Structure formats: structure tokens, C-alpha cells
Amino acid sequence: MPDLTFTSILAIITGIVLIALLLIVYVRSRQGDQRIINVTNQMLFFMLSAILVTLGIAFANHRATSVCSQLFVAIRYATGALLLLLTVIGVIRYITSVSRDKRLITHPVIFGIIIAVVAFLVEYLNGCL
């Protein structure tokens, strides 16, 4: 693990806060809080955009060092595949459900964002980004 600089500490804090906020949104949505449900329904496109931007950064910016071996390339592709799988499962559940509740899509997307943030932080803190 490289030396912790101010930027690294700030990235860790930002990632932890983002994950905590997403978990709060998920829990409140599961409890049926209509304000949170309406906000997540309106923000679905932006949440999907956040996943794509994070993956775009991870795939476009990488360093060829001994630390950034094939393992991190595998992590990058596995993260992308898992995010795609979660989103597709959410869409399929939405299409096949009778209730047409958008939470069937937003909950997997929230978990996808959490996974993308964790993968981004792991690569960033190992000096691969």
C-alpha cells in the first residue's frame, strides 16, 4: 500500500461517506419511505451514469506497474460484469413483476454503485489509477 497522502485520505473518506449514504438510502427505501423512493426513482438515470463514469475512469486510467498486475485487470473486468449482471437482473425483475415497482431496479443499482466505489478505491489506493 502506498504512502497515505492528503488526496488518498480524502478519497477514502469520500468513498466511506458515499457508501454510508447509499446504505441509508437503501434501508430507508426498503422501509417504504416515499420521499426516498421518489428521489431514487427520479435519480435512476444519474445513478446509472455514476456507475458508467466510475467504470470509465477505471478502464481508461491505469498504470502498468508490478503492483497493477493481472489481478487488478481481473478485478476491473469482474466489477464491470457484476455491475452489468446486477442491473440486468433488476430490469428483468422489474419487467416480470406485476407491481412495476422501480425499487426492483434501483436497489441493484445502489449495490452496483457501492461495488464500483469499493473497486475504484482498491485500485486507487494500490496506485493503479
pLDDT digits (tens, 9 = 90+) for 40-98: 888 877 877 877 777 777 677 666 666 667 777 778 788 888 888 988 898 899 899 88
Burial of 113 (0-12, 13-18, 19+ CB in 10 A): buried
Confidence tier at 28 by pLDDT (50, 70, 90):
very high
Measured CA to CA, the distance from residue 60 to residue 91 in angstroms comes to: 27
Model pTM score? 0.80
**HSE (CB half, 13 Å, CA atoms) of 122?**
14
Measure the CA–CA gap between 48 and 44, rounded to whole angstroms.
6
Using the 8-state DSSP alphabet, how is residue 126 labeled?
Answer: T
Instruction: Report the alpha-carbon distance of residue 70 to residue 51 in Å, rounded.
Output: 22
- Spatial distance between the Cα atoms of 93 and 111, rounded to a whole number of angstroms: 15
Q: Are 116 and 54 a contacting pair, CB within 8 Å?
A: yes
Residue that is written with C-alpha cell 438510502 in the block: 25
Cell digits of residue 24: 441509508
Q: What is the mean pLDDT of residues 9-13?
A: 88
Percent of the chain with pLDDT over 90: 9
Q: Hey, where are the domains in the chain?
A: 6-125
Q: Is 38 a residue whose pLDDT tops 70?
A: yes
